[in-house]
């Protein structure tokens, strides 16, 4: 390629964020620059696109000096030096614009939270019929995390090919019927059937949008994404026979194009997709069905536990609120009272020692490179991105 001549300021979107000298930014013309940060980045405060449901936190995050996938940045191109032009044009990031929302996860140490991606339009929560089977309490945790950040959610139930007959399908629909009534779309999919069950419907829901596919390891996110967009060629791995959970193969998030003008943030295994940054109020408002009737409670700060004249408990008793959803709310609130909310996809049967070993392993796998990649090293954002251990 020829050297860059125009070094003026321009705007672009971070499509991959690695080391400080290896941040890939796609500008408004579709040109991908390999950028670095230099000095203290500027950030504009204010509601570009509005605040998330977590209030000021999304705006405060824009003050951070580390760009992440989905960030809209201002940068300037660097002129080429030397007789050989680099594989990609180079640039320097000057400013991170305010974020509309952010998807966070607990860090591998468990002590802090990491921002996985920002400026997301929709989160696709992928669970499976089996291997591993879905749990509604887990789905509810994901939904609370999405509501907290003002993120739209779609529930994708994968591995539909494991359903044996119409009776199984009817039982599944009945079990999940609460979610469509709360305006959470539920899509049944399979990447294994000849006609790709549900893929066209899912594709239409994420067209021309930035989406994140997340969920427990082993539910088939990679296979699902590969079926939606074969050019992704994401890596897959088997489900562990010892634990029944998927094994992680992704090492970082990347924004990749998908058909119909949309983008997908391919994320690392989000076993630690966290709720530890939320408070009791956000847990209460994170359940749409509870929040819809909470104005009828006698006390404005009612926790819907044992307070008198609680409209939520009355609605549960009258079967106007799903009892299992209320139980999910109670479990999350109790965890908060104990001082630490669990990871959104933590299994109550997981032993703490196993979770710690997994965090230490993930920390080792996700350690950043110690040097800047050479010009001839592959940094193609459209190439294989890896995934978090998808058995199917």
Find out whether 63 and 99 touch, Cβ atoms under 8 Å.
no
The token duo for 219 is 């539910």
Query: pLDDT per residue over 267-281, tens digit each?
Result: 655 444 556 567 888
- Are residue 159 and residue 241 in the same domain, yes or no? yes
- Are residue 79 and residue 111 in the same domain, yes or no? no
Q: What is the mean pLDDT of residues 348-359?
A: 34
- Are residue 148 and residue 243 in the same domain, yes or no? yes
More confident residue, 216 or 153: 153
- Are residue 126 and residue 269 in the same domain, yes or no? yes
pLDDT score recorded for residue 102: 81
pTM, rounded to two decimals: 0.73
- Are residue 151 and residue 245 in the same domain, yes or no? yes
- Are residue 68 and residue 109 in the same domain, yes or no? no
Query: Does residue 29 surpass a pLDDT of 50?
Result: yes
Confidence of residue 167 (pLDDT cuts 50, 70, 90): very high
More confident residue, 338 or 31: 31
- Are residue 44 and residue 167 in the same domain, yes or no? no
Find out whether 366 and 252 touch, Cβ atoms under 8 Å.
yes
pLDDT score recorded for residue 179: 98
User: Which residue range is the domain that position 96 belongs to?
Assistant: 9-100
Phi, then psi, of 186 in degrees rounded to 5: -120, 125
Q: What is the mean pLDDT of residues 323-351?
A: 71
- Are residue 135 and residue 233 in the same domain, yes or no? yes
pLDDT score recorded for residue 338: 67
Report how far residue 263's alpha carbon sits from residue 121's, in angstroms, rounded to the nearest whole number: 10
Find out whether 338 and 348 touch, Cβ atoms under 8 Å.
no
26 belongs to a structural domain:
yes
Burial class (CB in 10 A: 0-12, 13-18, 19+), 252: middle
Report how far residue 285's alpha carbon sits from residue 229's, in angstroms, rounded to the nearest whole number: 35
- Are residue 297 and residue 313 in the same domain, yes or no? yes
Mean pLDDT of the chain: 76
Query: pLDDT per residue over 173-232, tens digit each?
Result: 999 999 999 999 999 999 888 889 999 999 999 999 999 888 888 898 888 888 888 766
> 207-216, 346-355, 365-374: which has the minimum mean pLDDT?
346-355
Concatenated DSSP letters of 219-281: S-HHHHHHHH-GGG-----PBPTTTSSBPP---S-EEEEETTTEEEEE----TT---TT--HH
Q: What share of the chain is helix, strand, coil (3-state, %, to 5)?
A: 25, 20, 50
Most confident of 191-205, 229-243, 333-347: 191-205
For residue 59, the domain's CATH number is: 2.40.50.140
For residue 150, the domain's CATH number is: 3.40.50.300
- Are residue 166 and residue 258 in the same domain, yes or no? yes
391 belongs to a structural domain:
no
Q: Is the dihedral of CA 165, 167, 171, 173 positive or negative?
A: positive
Confidence of residue 101 (pLDDT cuts 50, 70, 90): confident
Phi, then psi, of 183 in degrees rounded to 5: 70, 30
């Amino acid at each position: 390629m020829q050297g860059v001549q125009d070094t003026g300021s321009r705007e672009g979107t971070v499509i991959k964020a690695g080391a400080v000298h290896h941040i890939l930014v796609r500008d408004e013309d579709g040109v991908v620059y390999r950028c670095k940060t230099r000095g203290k980045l500027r950030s504009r405060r204010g509601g570009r696109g509005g605040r998330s449901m977590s209030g000021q936190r999304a705006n405060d995050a824009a003050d951070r000096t580390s760009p992440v996938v989905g960030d809209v940045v201002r940068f300037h191109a660097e002129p080429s030096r030397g007789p050989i032009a680099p594989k990609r044009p180079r640039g320097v990031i000057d400013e991170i614009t305010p974020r509309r929302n952010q998807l966070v996860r607990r860090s591998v140490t468990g002590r802090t939270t990491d921002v996985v991606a920002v400026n997301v339009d929709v989160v696709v929560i992928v669970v499976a019929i089996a291997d591993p089977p879905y749990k509604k309490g887990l789905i509810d945790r994901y939904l609370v995390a999405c509501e907290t950040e003002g993120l739209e959610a779609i529930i994708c139930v994968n591995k539909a090919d494991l359903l044996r007959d119409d009776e199984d399908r009817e039982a599944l629909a009945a079990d999940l019927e609460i979610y469509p009534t709360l305006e959470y779309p539920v899509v049944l999919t399979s990447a294994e059937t000849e006609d790709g069950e549900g893929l066209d419907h899912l594709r239409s829901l994420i067209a021309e949008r930035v989406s994140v596919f997340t969920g427990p390891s082993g539910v088939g996110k990679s296979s699902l994404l590969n079926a939606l967009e074969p050019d992704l060629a994401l890596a897959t791995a088997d489900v562990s026979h010892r634990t029944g959970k998927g094994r992680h193969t992704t090492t970082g998030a990347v924004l990749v194009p998908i058909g119909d003008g949309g983008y997908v943030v391919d994320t690392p295994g989000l076993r630690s997709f966290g709720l530890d940054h939320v408070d009791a109020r956000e847990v209460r408002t994170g359940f749409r069905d509870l929040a819809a009737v909470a104005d009828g409670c006698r006390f404005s700060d009612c926790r819907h536990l044992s307070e008198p004249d609680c409209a939520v408990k009355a609605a549960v008793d009258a079967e106007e609120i799903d009892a299992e959803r209320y139980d999910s709310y109670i479990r999350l609130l109790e965890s908060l009272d104990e001082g630490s909310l669990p990871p959104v996809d933590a299994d109550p049967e997981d032993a703490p020692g196993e979770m710690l070993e997994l965090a230490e392993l993930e920390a080792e796998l996700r350690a950043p490179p110690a040097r800047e990649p050479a010009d001839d090293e592959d940094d193609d954002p459209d190439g294989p991105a890896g995934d978090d251990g998808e058995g199917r």
